[in-house]
Structure 1
Amino acid sequence: MRKLRGGEIDIIMLKVCGKEIDNIMMQVHSSDIDTHMLKVCGNEINILMLKVRGGPIDIIQLKECGSEIDIVLLKVLSNEIDIIMLKETGNEIGITLLKVRSSEIGIIRKSRLKKTI
């Protein structure tokens, strides 16, 4: 568990197309998150340049096996992240209602949008 503004960040479990993602080694330095190391079934994902500048996070660039995942419009409004839109090879993953309660990130409710053919 890592410290974030006097709170603690637990392990965030995400499901992407039936795979589990473990969020480990999350470091916060002067409200700038530099590098996250994630493991996806033995693969490593680097989240680079995730910057929190006292407000909204605009674009997070992810790289997974050469493919890019864009997290677009991740907004932090009054300690509550509403909707995170992920794009992975044509599939859209909606992570809804990621609540930050007393500086702790607790539960991520995951909902997968159906792939339109």
Structure 2
Amino acid sequence: MRKLRGGEIDIIMLKVCGKEIDNIMMQVHSSDIDSHMLKVCGNEINILMLKVRGGPIDIIQLKECGSEIDIVLLKVLSNEIDIIMLKETGNEIGITLLKVRSSEIGIIRKSRLKKTI
């Protein structure tokens, strides 16, 4: 995996249901990432409002197959993200080695999807 150069994250490895997704050139602006579109097996994951300011990340919204995951209070600690495991309706999304300059992001709290029966 490539290291971050000049405010750009070159590759983010996502494992979704045993499948690998390469997210190339995810722009990290001075304060936040506004939006970025990922294609997952023909589906789109939209990452909205990823704030990287050396402080907490407020909300990341992921849309996959019409479902939304709200990740609340991601905390920027020190150097890098090793593994973040997310559970969505029994599926696991693994974010491996996401390097954001000199900040490590770890999950403090995450909200689960509520199924409407």
The total of aligned residue pairs comes to 117
Structure 1: tracts of 5 or more residues without a match: none
* Greater relative contact order (Cα < 8 A, sep 6+): 2
| C-alpha distance in 2 between matches for 1:115 and 1:48 | 22
| C-alpha distance in 2 between matches for 1:111 and 1:63 | 14
Relative to 1, partners in 2 of residues 1:109 and 1:2: Cα closer, same or farther, differing over 3 Å? farther
| C-alpha contact (below 8 Å) 2:26/2:36 kept by paired residues | yes
Relative to 1, partners in 2 of residues 1:57 and 1:79: Cα closer, same or farther, differing over 3 Å? same
Relative to 1, partners in 2 of residues 1:94 and 1:86: Cα closer, same or farther, differing over 3 Å? same
Structure 2: tracts of 5 or more residues without a match: none
Q: Percent identity?
A: 99
User: With structure 2 as the length reference, what TM-score do the two structures score?
Assistant: 0.63
Relative to 1, partners in 2 of residues 1:51 and 1:102: Cα closer, same or farther, differing over 3 Å? closer
Relative to 1, partners in 2 of residues 1:113 and 1:34: Cα closer, same or farther, differing over 3 Å? closer
| C-alpha distance in 1 between matches for 2:27 and 2:67 | 24
User: With structure 1 as the length reference, what TM-score do the two structures score?
Assistant: 0.63
